[in-house]
A and B are shown apart, each in its own frame.
Chain A
């Protein structure tokens, strides 16, 4: 038999992942951890896409999820490059040290 979960389980998973990501974004000082938190939030959104696409029987959501994964890969590359540069300048990957914009 095909075991089907109700859509809200997926949404709940997505919400949990998003919350964890948000918490990590706000509390972590290590730039790598911040980047990973952002990835978590992106994946939470992807789960939502796939879950609702499956629930409605449309293909659009899957396509969106694929594009989103591709963008996430690009974004990770850019983010890592920023972190490398940050390390070169400040000898650390602590984001709280990068505060040149303080008013």
Chain B
């Protein structure tokens, strides 16, 4: 049975990582031709495993396929008193649901990378003009393989420790890959920012896991996800359980870049575009959503945490969309749109507080978003490959030069904007539908629905703006000769992903059978056509597209291009991202710097003083002692003889009073 080999899914890329890291320089493409097949093989195995899971009987949370190291080798990885730390595989319908996009996208990104990551013969110029030559391919493929291995390891993790290990490994890999062009100060700073900001969430995540382990007395997922156990713990320690879930959610907030820890994601665009696609579509940010989805039966036991999840999600969706609407950098617009779409997913998961099917809606959106967002990023990568620039103000008219990129990106744009029949429409519509239904149980959800609806309009607007500024009209930059589509590796992946962006939305009619949780998820075509909310959502999206067309159609676009220094008023606030980063820096200045100055004073006035005093005492003793050294042999002879005499006297006296019995 294929599931018996599911443990190979993370292990294959992990082995590839080790080999590439050590011996990559002797492998074609510096390890690319080893890492890529390993990732593709793991992806294929993941698809096979997902298919097997859907054959049954692993649909519900209670019925998971569990495979652990201790069953095979007889003892757990680590055994300490109350807890046994085991490694293994926990696979149910939710796991399978994640394995499919992660498997397909990581494979696609690995193939695309072969064309995209070049040896960088030209190298880079530092700010001061220094020329640096880097061939980072070995580093890139090693980190890519480790990233994929940790995402699979996280999705398949069978206990809390394993989840934590792979969660942290993913943070490490994102640091390594965002800072891939580390000679650029921006890239190095972005890597540090990503690592430090997600670390805030990670600390809460660890705290949540520890509380969970103590509450349930076990770290096995099968024990924690058991409904009887959850009911017992919720009845006994309801508040503590709520706290642990809140901490888990804060961990997800950091990883999935939700308010207020979203500030790292736009900066993370400094890495190669393939890395952005990986972080935004397949791994990393999806890990946060998966974390909440994985523990949803526990979340469902504490309503107030789920309502927090929904509120944060809706607020994030809206505010990120406003920031995307004015940003001139194509990759940053996409980053804000990722934050916004992740907000939708959390909103859907939060709706589980009232309507259980919100879970399925959120995960369907995760699935669709994975494909169209990967497509958007890889298209942006193809543009960057041709132009070496990501500023949309200098694009325009690329449709003529890069037709494949333009058409696939148009499909992705319509998908994320929510225009039927592309995938985004189905999941967004059903998500809004269930959030609205949840409003019947808690009026707060009506407000959140309104926010989400506004976000849908904004999304259509900024995506249409992006496409029009990039591909419509005439080219606004210089040097048109090198404008062309990418290599066949890149085009092939774009076309395949475009097919998914068109088709994956129709899963809405089957997802109820695939993702079973509490209540079956029924949705028919007639149900969608007959619902006024679907028409409202669609009109808002079309309105957004129309507004974007009036402002950015080819003959008007010049009026709406603003240079960096000309942003003013509210636009300025949005471009500066509500000054949140500045606020964080200010806060750090106020608190951390003050305490650092205090520590510095203690260091200089107390510790350094003591060290200096020791040195000065030694110096003085040495000065005095050195005067004894006359250099004259006769003086040394006197010293030796008087010492000898003293010794003799002492020995004689000691002997007299001990051996001799005393005088």
Whether B633 pairs with A103 at a CB distance below 8 angstroms is no
B632 within 8 A of A: yes
Those of B627-659 within 8 Å (CB) of chain A: 627-634, 637-638, 641
Q: Of the 9-residue stretches A5-13, A20-28, A50-58, which lies at the interface with chain B?
A: A20-28
B591 within 8 A of A: no
Q: Count residues on chain B whose CB falls below 8 Å from chain A CBs.
A: 13
B637 cross-chain contacts in A, Cβ below 8 A: 25-26
B629 cross-chain contacts in A, Cβ below 8 A: 101-103
A100 within 8 A of B: yes
Whether B631 pairs with A95 at a CB distance below 8 angstroms is no
Those of A72-103 within 8 Å (CB) of chain B: 95-96, 98-103
B80 within 8 A of A: no
A100 cross-chain contacts in B, Cβ below 8 A: 631
A47 within 8 A of B: no
A44 within 8 A of B: no
Docked Cα-Cα span, A22 to B349, in Å, equals 100
Whether B634 pairs with A101 at a CB distance below 8 angstroms is no
Whether A95 pairs with B633 at a CB distance below 8 angstroms is yes
Q: How far is the CB of A53 from chain B (nearest CB, A)?
A: 22
B630 cross-chain contacts in A, Cβ below 8 A: 99, 102-103
Contact of B633 among A22, A27, A34 (CB under 8 A): A34
Whether B627 pairs with A26 at a CB distance below 8 angstroms is no
Q: How far is the CB of A8 from chain B (nearest CB, A)?
A: 18
Docked Cα-Cα span, A63 to B348, in Å, equals 105
Whether A26 pairs with B632 at a CB distance below 8 angstroms is no
B626 within 8 A of A: yes
Docked Cα-Cα span, A91 to B539, in Å, equals 112
Whether B631 pairs with A98 at a CB distance below 8 angstroms is yes
B625 within 8 A of A: yes
Whether A26 pairs with B634 at a CB distance below 8 angstroms is yes
Docked Cα-Cα span, A17 to B634, in Å, equals 18
Whether A101 pairs with B638 at a CB distance below 8 angstroms is no
Query: 8 other contacts beyond A95-B633, A100-B631, A103-B629, with CB at 8 A cut-off?
Result: A25-B634, A25-B637, A26-B637, A28-B634, A34-B633, A96-B632, A98-B633, A99-B631
Residues of chain A whose beta carbon lies under 8 Å from any beta carbon of chain B: 22, 25-29, 34, 95-96, 98-103
Can you give 19 contacting A-B residue pairs, CB < 8 Å?
Answer: A26-B637, A27-B634, A28-B634, A34-B634, A95-B632, A95-B633, A96-B632, A98-B631, A99-B630, A99-B631, A99-B632, A101-B629, A101-B631, A102-B629, A102-B630, A103-B626, A103-B627, A103-B628, A103-B630
